[in-house]
A and B are shown apart, each in its own frame.
Chain A
């Protein structure tokens, strides 16, 4: 399998639930990212990991918790979300975190009820 794979593709959760999004990249890249994509808004960077170390956290609420156990896997743990957190969550990877192009997965469509 090649590229960036995200699971699940769709997720519906209540405000009191805890869930996790998973991302796996098969490109041998050293950097991984979480982006949020909402309707009519540009892509918002949430977290960046380079060589498994978090290098950026864009003032994201603590109800979103990332985890990067190795350079191929990235998780986003979700708890006590709000309806406004409903969006498409995209994982991406790049060769390095200093300006290489991003390779995206197809995202997880999250709906918070």
Chain B
């Protein structure tokens, strides 16, 4: 059975304090590893897709990386507006995405 585990469950950072979020996955035939951002009262917003181990993608202060067992979302010098819940999902056979529970990030000014 496909499984995705995210850690930590919650992360509190000071503005400018860099850190990483973890996503461990067990999926048959990975077709893509996806990162989404969800703000309160809104649907998840697509951030990145990673397809193979060693791949990296960047967008502003965010960088996503992928190994054969896990993905990291690195946040460099975060700002309060980066506060959100970050969701990881692994796309397996038949294209079905299995989601993790998410990491709720709070960045204090």
Contacts and interface: CB of A to CB of B under 8 A. Distances in A.
Contact of A99 (B36, B95, B99): B95
A45 B97 contact: yes
Interface residues of B, number: 24
A43 B49 CA distance: 18
B101 A99 contact: no
Interface in A59-113: 90, 92, 96-107
Contact of B43 (A90, A99, A100): A90
Interface string B22-54: 000000000110101000011111100100000
Interface in A30-76: 40-43, 45, 48, 56
Does more than half of chain B's interface fall in helix, strand or loop, or is it mixed?
strand
Q: Give the bracket for the number of chain A residues in contact with chain B.
A: 20 to 34
Contact of A102 (B44, B94, B101): B44
Nearest to B100: A42
A50 B50 CA distance: 23
- Identify which of B31, B46, B97, B98 gathers the most chain A CB atoms within 10 Å of its CB: B97
B43 A106 contact: yes
A101 B49 contact: yes
A107 B31 CA distance: 26
Interface of A: 4, 6, 40-43, 45, 48, 56, 90, 92, 96-107
9 contacts: A48-B96, A90-B44, A96-B95, A101-B46, A101-B49, A102-B89, A104-B43, A105-B43, A107-B42
